[in-house]
Amino acid sequence: MAIKANILVVDDEKNIREGLGLALKRDDHILFLAADGIDALRIMKTEEIDLVITDLRMPNMDGDTLMKTILKEYFNIPVIILTGHGTVETAVQAMRDGAYDFLTKPINLEKLSLIVTRAISQRQLIIENRNLQSKIETFGKGKIIGKSEKMSKIYEIVEQVAPTKASVLILGENGVGKELITNMIYQLSKRRDKPFIKVHCAALSESLLESELFGHEKGAFTGAIKTKKGRFELADGGTIFLDEIGEISPQLQVKLLRVLQERCFERVGGEETIQVDLRIITATNRDLKAEIETGKFREDLYYRLNVVQINVPPLRERKDDIPLLISSFLSDFVRENNKIIKEISSKAKVALYNYNWPGNVRELRNVLESAVVLSKNQIIDVDDLPPYIVQEGEENNILRVNMPTTMQEIEKLAIISTLKLTNGKKSKAAELLHLNRKTLHNKIAEYEIKIDGVEDNTD
Ligand SMILES: Nc1ncnc2c1ncn2[C@@H]1O[C@H](COP(=O)(O)OP(=O)(O)OP(=O)(O)O)[C@@H](O)[C@H]1O
Ligand SMILES: [Mg+2]
């Protein structure tokens, strides 16, 4: 199948450029003509050229200089050289310099057509390949980091629920990774090749959100100059992610309930009922149960959304993910910013570990990005971190005396300091540490922890 391309023909001889132009137009290409290199580069600034055919000897800027400029400044645009009879050597040199191919004058039009088709399909392949690569990279970038027990449980649920059509409600504080988990569900679902539409419900006013979700008919309200499809319609067959679902108004909650129950709706100002096939994922940082109590969120809607619930714990409750997050974010930012940072000092690591992270992973990520960008040394140290983090870290520092080197040591120290805090009460300590009592008991034995009052305290 012929591919239609934008071709630039450069020759100082009017007859040749126009003759070539006509021949190529017959193959359905779009032609641009230039009389010399300068003229050609000017056209290339404003047009998306796919292929250049150029004469070598021309006034102002010759073909050789033009080709070298194109090879340097543009991504993969093939250049075909035209040479006079008996100058094959120049052509060979041009090929060495990076020309795609050459044609000798007088031009054999059939050969021209063949070479052009081949060059364009190759370019197409290279572009597709590059797009694929960048897609792979973006997907890689969005990967979830964390091997804590709590995150592993989440991955398990995600893997189980992803291939189904069940609605998923994701709960968690700001910045815990709710959106990343949504992406993961989509990627692992059977609908990964179908549309994936995200709507940030808190970002729009009620009426805008309504027409954004359901679409509107022409003339439905002032400014509705034409019929517009809503996000539900655009997501048909695929997945829709309604972020910050806790923010939607009672009226919209009713309309949404109907979509969930019957998978149908009408556009704003419209009468036709539109049926859709949707997978619905929602997320919120609000406590929806409490919102139901106070009458702000409909209970029936909650049960429809909450077929499968994923609770993403705050970072301070899965601190064993912190070291991995640090090293992964660091290497990303070092690469992105071309820095020569080699490591992060253990003091800085401890400060980051001890901090409470109210903004969760997003906050940690931002802190590390700014540390990398601003650091002048090869090692990130406490001076590169915001003072409030270091200060709070020190206040929480259960590890001040002995700088720990392993997670076991950190865990042991965490248990000791918590037991001190609870005056040896194990059930309270277990609660604070988010461990069950038996696990805590085993760890106390394993680490041979002895604190006054712990031994004989049997609670
Ligand atoms: N486990 C993780 N691994 C890697 N990056 C993460 C992880 N969790 C969160 N992030 C990063 O932190 C930032 C916030 O994540 P995300 O947007 O998914 O959080 P959220 O829970 O949707 O937050 P909000 O409620 O504020 O919208 C993003 O830059 C994301 O890439
Ligand atoms: Mg989010």
For residue 61, the domain's CATH number is 3.40.50.2300
Task: Report yes or no on 419 lying in a domain.
Answer: yes
Residues 297, 423: one domain? Answer: no
Among protein residues, the one with the nearest Cα to ligand 1's atom 31 is 142
Does residue 218 share a domain with residue 82? Answer: no
Which of 370, 395, 420 terminates a domain? The answer is: 395
68 closest CA partner among 46, 88, 95, 97: 97
Same structural domain, 320 and 308: no
Does ligand 1 have an atom closer than 6 angstroms to the CB of 174? yes
pTM above 0.75, yes or no: no
Task: Give the structural domain span for 40.
Answer: 6-136
**Ligand 1 contact, 361 CB (< 6 A):** yes
Same domain, 206 and 255: yes
Whether 216 is in the pocket of ligand 1, judged by its Cβ within 6 Å, is no
Ligand 2 mean position to 144 CA, how many Å? Answer: 14
**How many angstroms does the Cα of residue 122 sit away from the middle of ligand 1?**
39
Tell whether 383 is covered by a domain. yes
Q: Is 12 contained in some domain?
A: yes
What is the structure's pLDDT at 456?
A: 44
> Total structural domains in the chain?
4
Distance 381 CA to ligand 2 centre (A): 30
The pLDDT profile of the chain, 459 residues, written as one tens digit per residue, is: 457 899 999 999 999 999 999 999 888 899 999 999 999 999 998 888 999 999 988 999 989 999 999 988 887 899 999 987 667 788 888 888 899 998 888 889 889 999 999 999 888 888 777 666 655 555 555 689 998 999 999 999 999 999 999 999 999 999 999 999 999 999 889 898 889 999 999 988 988 999 999 999 988 888 888 888 999 999 999 999 999 999 999 999 999 999 999 999 999 999 999 999 999 999 999 999 999 999 999 999 999 999 999 999 999 999 989 999 999 999 889 888 888 877 899 889 888 998 999 999 999 999 999 999 988 888 999 999 999 998 876 666 555 444 556 778 778 888 887 887 777 888 888 988 889 999 999 999 998 887 765 544 445
Q: Is 458 among the domain residues? A: no
Could you give the CA distance from residue 166 to residue 307 in angstroms, rounded to a whole number?
6
Q: Which of 133, 126, 111, 112 is nearest to 53 (CA)?
A: 112
Going by CA atoms, what residue is nearest to atom 5 of ligand 1? 144
- Nearest ligand, measured from the Cα of 177: 1
**Quick one: how far is CA 275 from the chain centroid?**
30
Most distant CA atoms of the chain, gap in Å: 104
Determine the residue of 181, 362, 369 to mutate for testing ligand 1's pocket, defined as the one with the most ligand atoms within 8 A of the Cβ atom.
362
Determine phi and psi for 240, rounding to 5 degrees. -120, 135
Cα of 432 from ligand 2 centre, angstroms: 27
Q: Is 308 in the pocket of ligand 1 (CB under 6 A)?
A: no
> Is the CB–ligand 1 distance for residue 314 below 6 Å?
no
Q: Find the helix packing angle between 109-141 and 14-26, rounded to 10°.
A: 70
* 286 CB near ligand 1 (under 6 Å): no
For residue 243, report the distance from its CA to the centre of ligand 2, in Å: 6
Q: How many residues does the chain have?
A: 459
The residue from 277, 297, 313 where one domain ends is 313
178-187 and 149-161 helices, crossing angle to 10°:
40
Domain check: are 73 and 87 in the same one? yes
Nearest of 199, 301, 288, 283 to residue 245 by alpha carbon: 283
From 291, 313, 335, give the residue that closes a domain.
313
